[in-house]
Structure 1
Amino acid sequence: MKLIGWNCQGAGKDLDNSNKMEFLARLMNSTGVQVTFLSETRSSRYNSSHLNSRFNTAGSFVVPSTGFSGGLWLLWSDEVRVSINFSNQYLILAVVGHIHTNVDFALACVYGDPHHRHTRMIWEQISTFVNDNLGKPLVFLGDMNELMSEADTTFRLM
Structure 2
Amino acid sequence: MVGTEPSHEHHGDPPNAQQHADAKPTDVNDDGECLEDAGTVITWNYQGAASKNFLRAAKMLLKKHHPDIFCLMETKTSGDNADTVCCKLGFENWARVEALGFSGGIWVFWSDALQVEILTSHPQFVHMAITEPSGRRWNLSMVYGSPSGYLRRRLWNALSRNKIHVNYPWLIAGDFNAIVSNEECTSTSSPGAHRNSDFKDWIFDEALFDLGFSGQKFT
TM-score (norm 1): 0.82
> What RMSD in Å do the two structures reach over aligned CA positions?
2.6
Query: Of the candidates 138, 141, 154, which is equivalent to residue 173 of structure 2?
Result: 141
Q: Runs of 5+ in structure 1 lacking a partner? A: none
1:71 aligns with 2:105: yes
Match of 1:111 in 2: 144
1:62 aligns with 2:100: no
Query: Of the candidates 57, 79, 82, which is equivalent to residue 23 of structure 1?
Result: 57
Q: Tell me the SS of whatever aligns to 2:103.
A: coil
8 Å contact kept, 1:7–1:143: yes
Shift of 1:141: 1.6
Q: Tell me the SS of whatever aligns to 2:149.
A: coil
Q: Runs of 5+ in structure 2 lacking a partner? A: 1-38, 191-219
**CA distance, structure 2, for counterparts of residue 8 and residue 50 of structure 1:** 13
Shift of 1:77: 0.7
Q: 1:89 to 1:116 in 2, by over 3 A?
A: same
**CA distance, structure 2, for counterparts of residue 96 and residue 129 of structure 1:** 19
For structure 1, which segment, 140-149 or 61-70, has the greater mean C-alpha deviation from structure 2 after superposition? 140-149
Shift of 1:130: 8.0
Match of 1:38 in 2: 72
**CA distance, structure 2, for counterparts of residue 35 and residue 22 of structure 1:** 18
**CA distance, structure 1, for counterparts of residue 174 and residue 112 of structure 2:** 22
8 Å contact kept, 1:93–1:129: no
8 Å contact kept, 1:37–1:141: no
**CA distance, structure 1, for counterparts of residue 189 and residue 182 of structure 2:** 12
**CA distance, structure 2, for counterparts of residue 24 and residue 74 of structure 1:** 13
8 Å contact kept, 1:93–1:107: yes
Shift of 1:83: 0.7
Q: Tell me the SS of whatever aligns to 1:11.
A: coil
Shift of 1:12: 2.4
Shift of 1:72: 1.0
Shift of 1:103: 1.3
**CA distance, structure 2, for counterparts of residue 118 and residue 78 of structure 1:** 34
Cα deviation digits, residues 13-66 of structure 1 (max 9, x gap): 4xxxx122211112113322110110000001222x751x31211200011111
After TM superposition, which residue ranges in structure 1, 4 or more long, deviate above 4 angstroms? 149-154
Q: Percent identity?
A: 26
How many correspondences in the alignment? 149
Shift of 1:137: 1.6
Q: 1:20 to 1:124 in 2, by over 3 A?
A: same
Greater relative contact order (Cα 8 A, min sep 6): structure 1 or 2? 2
Amino acid at match of 2:154: M
